[in-house]
Each structure stands twice: as C-alpha cells, then as structure tokens.
Amino acid sequence: MTTTTSLPDQKKVGMVSLGCPKALVDSERILTKLRADGYAMSPDYAGADVVLVNTCGFLDSAKEESLEAIGEAIAENGRVIVTGCMGEEADVIRARFPQVLAVTGAHQYEQVVEAVHEAAPPSQGPYVDLIPQIDVKLTPRHYSYLKISEGCNHSCAFCIIPQLRGKLTSRRIDAVLREAEKLVAAGTKELLVISQDTSAYGVDIRHDERMWKDRQVRAHMTDLARELGQLKTPEGEQPWVRLHYVYPYPHVDAVMPLMAEGLLTPYLDIPFQHASPSVLRAMKRPANEAKVLERLKSWREICPDIAIRSSFVVGFPGETEDDFRYLLDWLEEAQLDRVGAFRFEPVEGAQANTLPDPVPEAVKEERYARIMEVTERISAAKLADKVGRIIPVIIDEVGEPDEDGDIGATGRSQADAPEIDGNVFLRNVPAYLAQGAIVKVEIEDSDAHDLFGVVGA
C-alpha cells in the first residue's frame, strides 16, 4: 500500500513597509527569515494570518502615516505586529491601538520573527527544510538596495535617527561584497548603496581589513566603491553602482576617478540640508560647507557627467530672509542636478524643537515655493542640454502595445535613482525590450524633471 503525506497549509504573512529604503531592506530581511521558517507571503490583508507594519518615525507626519497604516491593518485583518522606527514609541502605539499583538523597534529582526512565531506558529514542522532558501525582494528584480551600515554618529539638531537606530554599526566588508556579488548573480543590474552616512562606513570598526578574493580590502567607502566597480553580471556586463547618503568628507574626492573610469555610476546623493553658515551651525551639521562649491567644480572637471542630488530644509528655526537668499544664491552657483526640498517640521525628541525664532508656517510655504521654482528652472536647463545626446538608460517598465501596435517604456538615466528622481519615457520600443535592460537612448525632448526619447541604434 502506498502512503502519501501532504504538506499542511503554510501560514501567511502580510507586510506593509513604510519610510526610507533602509527600512525596505529591513522588511526584506524579515520576510526572508520568515520564508525560511516556512511562511508564505500574502499579497493582501484578507489572506494573511498576521500582518507586519514596518513603521517610519522620522517626522511627525510620517508617524501619523504609520499610525494610519496600523489602523487600516487592524481594521482589515485584526492581527497586527508593529516594527520599525516608530516601534521605539510603543506606548503611543498601544495607547491608540491596544489590540496590536507586539511592538518592536528598528532592525530588531529576531524579535519580529519571534512575535510572528507566537502569533501564527509555523505549520510545516519538519518540512521547512525542503523550502529553498530564497531571499525575498520588495524591489523589482533589476535593482537592489545594499545596506552597508546601520545607525549614525552625528547629532544633527533636527534628527532623531541616533535615538531610533543607534550609533554607527558597519557591516564587515567581505559580507557586504558577498551580498553584492550574490545580488548581481541573481539578476540585479543596479546596486543602490545605502546607510545613514555612507562616507563614515567602517569608522566604528577602525576600517577593519578582510580577505576578499585574493586581496585584503578595508571597510572604507573608497575600497568598497572600487571593489563594487569590479562586479560583473552573468552576461559579463558591469552593473550600475549608485552611492546614496554621502557626506562630503575629503575622501569622497577619491571616488571621482572611479566614476570617470566607468566603475561607478556618476551620481552622488549628498544631504547638504542648507548652505547658510549660520543655519548649518544651528543644525549642527558635521560637514564644513565653505569649500563645497570648489569641490563640486573639481569633481565636474574629473567627471563631467556626474549628477549631484541633494535635499534642503527651509524654515529651520532662526532662518532669516538673508539666510534663505544665501541658499538660493548658493544653488544658482552649485547647479545641482536633482534637488528635493522640505519644510522644517518639529520631531519629538529633536534638539531643534527648543531653538528660538521659529519660522511662521506661511513663510515656510513661501520659501518652499521659491526654492522649488529655482531648482526646477536649473533642472529644466540641465535636462534640455541632454536633448540630442545618446545616453544609457535602464528600463523599469515596458507597457502594452497601443491601438497602433506601438510599445512605450519607462526607464532612468544614470542621473536618476528610482523613486526619488526623474524618468526617461521611451516611445515605440522594440517588442523584445525587457525590464532591467540597459539600452542606448537618443533623447528627443525634456521638461523640468523628465526626458523623452527613442532607443538608439
């Protein structure tokens, strides 16, 4: 007689991930561990045995968004575990939603998994070992975030990241490179290097050296960048490597030749936050801005195609009209490629909350409108200069044929990071074009944020 054994149904976990890419990486790691423990992922609330909400707690508006997400998950499912940055305020969460099953803080992977095991015990027992150990990705297959460290050693007056995520904790260089190599082998065409302070990578572990391949490499941004530039896809192509959250320390100059040689994507995301010396002092920013304009000029001399993106805060306490005009003048001279602006918002626990001379909300709005007008004009002019050029573009999405059979696609240039920068919209692309392909595109038109073109010969 033949006896068959059927696998019990897998318990299913739903996930809502809010906030920055660093939180998204946390969500991927949690789901990967749960997948290895025998859980399946649920695409909706209804099919989940338990729902995880990975929260953001950086700004009060982000906290409110997190609370709304928790409320929606409770209303739709009822069995909710909360994690992430806002998990540090468990009393606030439980006061509003006493029925949550558990609350954990940022990157507390083991505690989250334990809470899931308690709320919905895995049902597959000895059969779990039969499940392939496959990493869960929440981004498209062709790009991946590579988190190199956690936490931050700075004490910026407007920020509570050190309270939420702790001091700088760098990963071993060989572990980072092994993960990057694995991602590229699995189909990643673009690596986005993230942390709270990429330039400070390795400071906490004294730039510890590890053997990688046949050589010693340091836990240092320049060593990391050089090694990532040696990676190759299974097709023998070089993946794009994009650096985010780079503070302009002197050693950043050393990555410019790597960009000029094509080993790194010519792109830097630098959180300048402001330009006025008095505002920067009040913000307790770690970098000296005095020579930044000179360095931008020298970087462009070494790598003319480099794109610089940054973000700025307007309406910081004590910011005068003269301070704001200084910022606008600085932006006119800096000619940054991509700029995001934010109105100052108090964050519970931040030092800035006690500073004198708060800026009225109406003034914040007026300054926000002015900075966006200036930066959009600069962006429009820079993008217009690309019309007529042929540039590499990575394809994010390919559309369906229209009534005439034409197929459109959306991609990004090397100057555009996913989610935060612009797009390149393509017309009449070949039917064989697939997501993740890197193709040469002739730019035909532009606006203030995006480019438009056609796949070149």
207: left (phi over 0), alpha (psi -120 to 50) or beta: left
Bridge-based pairing state of the strands 240-243 and 190-194? parallel
CA dihedral 457, 432, 427, 412 (to 10 degrees): -80
Other beta carbons within 10 angstroms of residue 274's beta carbon come to 22
User: CA-CA distances (angstroms) from residue 129 to 34, 74, 162, 407?
Assistant: 13, 32, 38, 44
Known binding residue 303? Answer is no
Residues 6 or more apart in contact with residue 386 via CB below 8 angstroms: 413, 443, 446, 451
DSSP for 15-78, written as a single string? EEE-SSHHHHHHHHHHHHHHHHTTPEEPSSSTT-SEEEEEE--SSHHHHHHHHHHHHHHHHHTS
Known binding residue 156? Answer is yes
Known binding residue 20? Answer is yes
Residues 6 or more apart in contact with residue 261 via CB below 8 angstroms: 229
Q: Which amino acid is at 158?
A: F
- Sequence ranges of the binding site: 20, 56, 85, 152, 156, 159
- Sequence ranges of the binding site for [4Fe-4S] cluster: 20, 56, 85, 152, 156, 159
